Amino acid sequence: MNVQPAASSFLDALVADGVVARDQLSRLVRLQAESGESLIRLMVRTGIVDAESLADEISKHYGLPLLQEGEWPKALALRDVVSPRFLREHHVLPVRQEADGVVVAVSDPDDFRALKALEIACEKPLKLHIASDPVLMSKLEKL
């Protein structure tokens, strides 16, 4: 799992690119303090940023590939290693195992605790792919 830039630099980039206004960011930070929810999920939930556009921005900023439509798993991978409840709570979805790691769909690559816990459970490095949160959760619920 190799996520480089910090969340604050991503948020600064969104403001600099005009994707999010500074006052919207301030509102999001207040909401996060109250709810504990991820800023990325809050941006989508509040409608400040379209989920697909945000996924594109995250992919570009972090240099992580977008998960393509044909890559979604048909069955829940690693069911014996990680519970569906954990996956739903943390908005992550193992897609497939590869020789050098586990491909995982995420909407928030800054959820370090969840990603580290998943990496430990899988006993392999994670290969993060970005997906919009609503699509990821919809796919997860169907498995």
Give this prediction's pTM. Answer: 0.88
| Nearest CA among 85, 93, 142, 89 for reference residue 122 | 93
Tokens encoding 70: 């044909």
Instruction: State whether the Cα torsion 122-88-75-111 is positive or negative.
Output: negative
List, as one string, the DSSP characters of 18-36: TSS-HHHHHHHHHHHHHH-
Tokens encoding 96: 């497939």
pLDDT at 141 over 90: yes
CA angle 32, 126, 59 (to 5 degrees): 55
Distance between CA atoms of residues 115 and 67, nearest Å: 17
- Over residues 10-39, the pLDDT tens digits come to 888 899 989 999 999 889 889 989 998 888
Distance between CA atoms of residues 94 and 76, nearest Å: 7
- Over residues 48-95, the pLDDT tens digits come to 999 999 999 999 999 999 999 999 999 988 888 999 999 999 999 999
